[in-house]
Structure 1
């Protein structure tokens, strides 16, 4: 073998790892971008109704406060559908159910153009909740399967930030369009935006991933052979996570936090449309720009958790949510905006930390672990509307803040127990190691 041949072989050996690293990096970036765009599409469709409550009230002849039911029913069906997609994606893979659900979502948007009355709209929103569940149920497990450990926290932070951007976009786009266009035209624009997003996701999403190349012998011993053994395997996966007291606490934290956050945004619109503010149809949607502080918190959450620890960040998050609600009681436009900036910052800091914690803690049945967290998360959203409604009817916005504060006190107690248990667990590990 000649010296030149040795030189070529050596250069090949040096280049191949670099080329492989570059391919892996590009694949990871494409995955993060595609799932983040999918998230934006999902949350535009989920929160669209919050931005067009007055339009819905006029179009379907219902009270504006009853329009909030549309978000509650969607969140309710979404919550339980998350569990279905967790099972499905563990069986057939992450990519296929995610894409099919997004294309069916486009079909449901088309059907909304032809809705004739409010009951039909409620039914269709119930169906949309089933379709909207696929992306949040699968995304974090998809990241965990395909990304390196270093990329995982960053991906989770970017994904949660995309959630908040989608929520803002849905409300603002809907609110702006409702000023100038009737129902059908507003939905057609949302359909067009969603179509562009879904096609982009389909093009960006990597066709193959590491999880599709795992050796088949790893699953040979545990692969279910009958429908009842398959069902038993799935139930065992959910039960495995529900037995974990720490995961149960994280699930409760997510549900209680979202109960307060998303429903406060619904009722503040009603408050701002009434005396002494009398905000217009589009003006009230501008309050959702306060979500931008949550976008910032999501993007930096992984860095801050690594630097200051979860316990400190979670305590700061609860304090921000609690004080944010109290600041709004000053009942000025500036105070309400500052209060919601604080609340949004605290909520998304908490949600990002919990979401990543669940994905990291779950070593098996990852999609099921994430689905259980999000199931509690969206159940909180669906129960928050009915919980806060009587407080709103009797005491107005101050009643909503009081009811929210009760929930936040419970949440603070759960978080204290959770972070204390985590500290004790780390201390025990360090003691054994020493």
Structure 2
């Protein structure tokens, strides 16, 4: 009978974690990307060009890039859940302040601080999932977290754009900030207390040995090896070749994804389309496609293989970007939908591969993954803005296609067919 009760307990834990992290992902990405749909209004209000307006996103993603490693070390010391709660509450408060600022430099500074506060959720969430759940459920839970990200990104952009059409972009951002406070509250209340990882400040040799023994019996994915210092785990995360293959994916793929949505609004509001902000914001409803493909990708990765799914997603992104080079508006929207679906196929796969490959340096590897994720956002968000100013949408689309091809080449060169096998060959095992 005890053997029969364990799956029920695991199922309950799985659903609680998915629900809580869905809310956290919603709050994080709604705050982060709500500004994207009002970039043309910000350009007009402050009299700046698209690449300068896009700094409102780049500063936030730069803050996240700066913050992920410190938050990861803090989580190792003070506990994953405690750190994520502090991060979520801090970001929600800053998000309420930002719309009241009336100069672009102040907004950029606030967005930087907001990004620093937000950084713990993307830095720690997948590591927390891997600590608390069996390996067979990690990718599915990561897919649910990414679904929360996609719905948050969708509604953040959509609501900000629709409200700004009638009441101004400041009220649009404020409306999203209030929703994020609600989502943050749900996360803080619902997230389960951690059981799969003991913070280093509480870890003694006796407690560690007992926890490790229990973990080996009950979980396929082990907690970080206590005998390794945080610096040793960080060094391992930097020197495992297969991990560099996973790090390259968010740098290039998320950089291309952010750029497409940052400058698509400018493209569609210009001639020959001349769409309004509200109508342009409706294009972001294609995010719903990403919500389904993220869950599908997470659920079938074990059957079809992580690397094969990654190639599939990249191929969809390339095809979608190519369709946006055509003239008919309906075909452009179809291309954006295909591109979005492809990106959300790749996202849970690469984040799960990072955790599976990293083994004992999982926390540090996940933080580095998130670091390059947001560095790619910051770098390409600005760089392709300059490309847009010089070569219009065709330059952006061709740049995105090139980035996707490079990501596929790196995956073919560095990523293993079986992610778990790479962990067994990592320096920790030698």
For normalisation by structure 1, the TM-score amounts to 0.86
The match for 1:399 is: 395
The match for 1:348 is: 344
Aligned residues: 404
Q: Assess, with a 3 A threshold, how the Cα gap between structure 1 residues 188 and 258 changes in structure 2: closer, same or farther.
A: closer
1:335 equivalent to 2:331? Answer: yes
The match for 1:312 is: 308
Deviations 1:295-320 (A, max 9, x none): 22211113332232233322222221
Name the CA distance, whole Å, in 2 between partners of 1:150 and 1:405. 33
Moved more, 105-114 or 339-348: 105-114
Deviations 1:190-213 (A, max 9, x none): 232122111111111123524349
The match for 1:253 is: 249
1:416 to 412, 415, 422: 412
Name the CA distance, whole Å, in 1 between partners of 2:234 and 2:421. 25
Name the CA distance, whole Å, in 2 between partners of 1:180 and 1:265. 22
Residue 80 of structure 1, CA deviation: 2.1
Residue 385 of structure 1, CA deviation: 2.1
The match for 1:107 is: 93
Deviations 1:6-41 (A, max 9, x none): xxxxxxxx4x66556544432332122111101100
The match for 1:142 is: 128
2:115 to 129, 137, 155: 129
State how 1:88-99 maps to structure 2 within 5 Å: 88-99=74-85
Which SS does the other structure have where 1:364 is aligned? helix
CA contact (8 A) 2:157 2:281 kept: yes
Name the CA distance, whole Å, in 2 between partners of 1:218 and 1:137. 29
Residue 423 of structure 1, CA deviation: 7.0
The match for 2:320 is: 324
Name the CA distance, whole Å, in 1 between partners of 2:141 and 2:327. 38
State how 1:150-161 maps to structure 2 within 5 Å: 150-161=136-147
Which SS does the other structure have where 1:207 is aligned? coil
Q: Assess, with a 3 A threshold, how the Cα gap between structure 1 residues 89 and 422 changes in structure 2: closer, same or farther.
A: same
2:181 to 195, 219, 226: 195
Name the CA distance, whole Å, in 2 between partners of 1:125 and 1:155. 29
Name the CA distance, whole Å, in 1 between partners of 2:281 and 2:51. 15
Which SS does the other structure have where 2:193 is aligned? coil
Which SS does the other structure have where 1:199 is aligned? helix
Higher-Rg structure is: 1
Deviations 1:352-376 (A, max 9, x none): 1111111112221322111111111
For normalisation by structure 2, the TM-score amounts to 0.87
Name the CA distance, whole Å, in 2 between partners of 1:274 and 1:83. 40
CA contact (8 A) 2:94 2:110 kept: yes
RMSD between aligned residues: 2.6
Name the CA distance, whole Å, in 1 between partners of 2:85 and 2:294. 25
The match for 2:280 is: 284
The match for 1:362 is: 358
CA contact (8 A) 2:244 2:414 kept: no
CA contact (8 A) 1:59 1:183 kept: no
1:217 equivalent to 2:205? Answer: yes
CA contact (8 A) 2:289 2:341 kept: yes
